[in-house]
Amino acid sequence: MVSDTPKHYPVLLNEIISIITPQHGGTFIDCTFGQGGYTKEILKFKKTQIIALDRDIKSKKKADEIEKKFSGRLLFKNKKFSQLDNLKLKDQKIRGVIFDLGYSFAQIKDQEKGLSFNSVGELNMQMGLNDFSASDAVNKLDAKELEKIFKFFGDEKEAKRISLRIVQKRQSKQLNNKDLVEIIEKTKKKNFKTHSATKVFQSLRIFVNNEISELIHGLIAATKVLKKDGILAVVTFHSLEDKIVKYFFKSLSENKSVSRYVPKIDQPKNLFSLIKKKPITPSLKELKENLPSRSAKLRYVIKKEDFYDFKTDIFEKFEYLISIENFGNKL
Ligand SMILES: C[S@@+](CC[C@H](N)C(=O)[O-])C[C@H]1O[C@@H](n2cnc3c(N)ncnc32)[C@H](O)[C@@H]1O
């Protein structure tokens, strides 16, 4: 029998488990519950508890199933991880916080979400709890703003030409998913390795879901709620996310300003230990079983002291990217 539920493969699962050591019990936060791949595995260890977040309400169904099986040990919240700080977890002894960024296989297959260039219908790309859609962005922002989104969030070389065509084309009709793909295909040379619309779609998804600000706020909140010796682990899927995580972890563990334009911060050194400078990537076995994991990178840090408040220069460092996301405020 063929299942209609898309197959889910939790990326770098064994590596996550060996880093956070759930066999010692404790409370963990799964900031990106998705299909509950990590949560389920952690709950198999007795004396563990999970607080799970996901912005997509469709995750709740899976969370209810898992909660029934491991009764009382899973608390699911349909919230964005940038709101982690508002959950008043300050006095909870959190042993680990995990982020597995991006979207799940179920979401990419979800036609309603329109995350894929193969989707039909309206441009959407909202993962959940959003303020606007990709259609609002593509049909309302000016050409310069669209160009910046495609260039800085997607590294799209043809950003300018594509955005000018969009603005020209939308004079006669509201653009949908298919129209956008057609514009990109007509503007760019065919690339046989990846679909020509990959970069533009990635950039719009980042923009619509505020992924840069979400990540920065989520990381800061996570560092605060962890107890001493707690672990913060993040799996990223594209270079922009990885750049932010890498910078943040480096600055936390060295108290060094990586950029000469950003002042060094006056606070105790070494709030966190960075055990491995290089990211952990999927094994050959995992790559064989799940090719989309090929761009995954796992980085982690360990909290060395109990503290709640600390200073960070991460907002200044990524100010320009945040300013691009702010175009969304007018939509
Ligand atoms: C790659 S999937 C996680 C898969 C999960 N680790 C598993 O094994 O099932 C990413 C999930 O994070 C959620 N997500 C993305 N950004 C989020 C945010 N800012 N706040 C909360 N959830 C978010 C998405 O809705 C998606 O369900």
Domains and CATH numbers, the chain: 13-106+211-325 (3.40.50.150), 131-208 (1.10.150.170)
The atom number, within ligand 1, closest to the CA of 33 reads: 5
* DSSP 8-class letter at 95: E
CA distances from 221 to 75, 148, 161 (A): 18, 28, 39
Q: Distance between CA atoms of 190 and 195, rounded to whole angstroms?
A: 8
Interhelix angle 143-154/159-169, rounded to 10 degrees, is: 140
Asked if 140 and 331 touch (Cβ cutoff 8 Å), the reply is yes
Q: Distance between CA atoms of 166 and 160, rounded to whole angstroms?
A: 10
> 265 pLDDT exceeds 90?
no
Token pair for 53: 């977040």
Compute, in angstroms, the gap from residue 289 CA to the centroid of ligand 1: 21
Backbone angles phi, psi at 111, to 5 degrees: -55, -35
> 106 pLDDT exceeds 80?
yes
Nearest to 224 by CA among 80, 34, 83, 101: 83
> 156 pLDDT exceeds 60?
yes
Which residue, judged by its Cα, is nearest atom 13 of ligand 1? 32
The residue-averaged pLDDT of 217-241 equals: 95
Nearest to 22 by CA among 104, 101, 98, 89: 98
Q: How many CA atoms lie within 13 A of 22 on its CB side?
A: 24
Token pair for 146: 């669209």
In this prediction the pTM is 0.94
Which residue, judged by its Cα, is nearest atom 8 of ligand 1? 37
Which residues on neighbouring strands pair with residue 76, listed in sequence order? Answer: 52
Given pLDDT bands bounded at 50, 70 and 90, which one contains residue 3?
Answer: very low
Token pair for 68: 């029934």
End-to-end CA distance of the chain: 45
Q: From the DSSP assignment, how many helices (H) and strands (E) are in the chain?
A: 14, 7
> 266 pLDDT exceeds 70?
no
> 258 pLDDT exceeds 60?
no
Q: Taking CB atoms and a 6 Å cutoff, what residues make up the pocket around ligand 1?
A: 8, 10, 32, 34-38, 53-56, 59, 80-81, 100, 102-104, 127-128, 214
Given pLDDT bands bounded at 50, 70 and 90, which one contains residue 89?
Answer: confident
Asked if 134 and 203 touch (Cβ cutoff 8 Å), the reply is no
> 2 pLDDT exceeds 60?
no
Compute, in angstroms, the gap from residue 212 CA to the centroid of ligand 1: 14
Nearest to 134 by CA among 179, 186, 165, 164: 179
Query: What average pLDDT does the structure give for the chain?
Result: 92
Residue indicated by tokens 């084309």: 169
The atom number, within ligand 1, closest to the CA of 237 reads: 1
> 202 pLDDT exceeds 50?
yes
Which residue, judged by its Cα, is nearest atom 24 of ligand 1? 103
Residues 6+ apart with CB under 8 A from 276: 299, 300
Pick from 34-38, 90-94, 313-317: least confident: 90-94
Backbone angles phi, psi at 132, to 5 degrees: -155, 170
Q: What is the pLDDT of residues 300-319, one digit of tens each?
A: 999 998 877 778 899 999 99
Most distant CA atoms of the chain, gap in Å? 62
Given pLDDT bands bounded at 50, 70 and 90, which one contains residue 20?
Answer: very high
Residue 16: the pLDDT is 98
Compute, in angstroms, the gap from residue 269 CA to the centroid of ligand 1: 32
Given pLDDT bands bounded at 50, 70 and 90, which one contains residue 259?
Answer: low
- Out of 15, 55, 112, 213, mutate this one to test ligand 1's pocket (max ligand atoms within 8 Å of CB): namely 55
Nearest to 226 by CA among 27, 75, 11, 66: 27
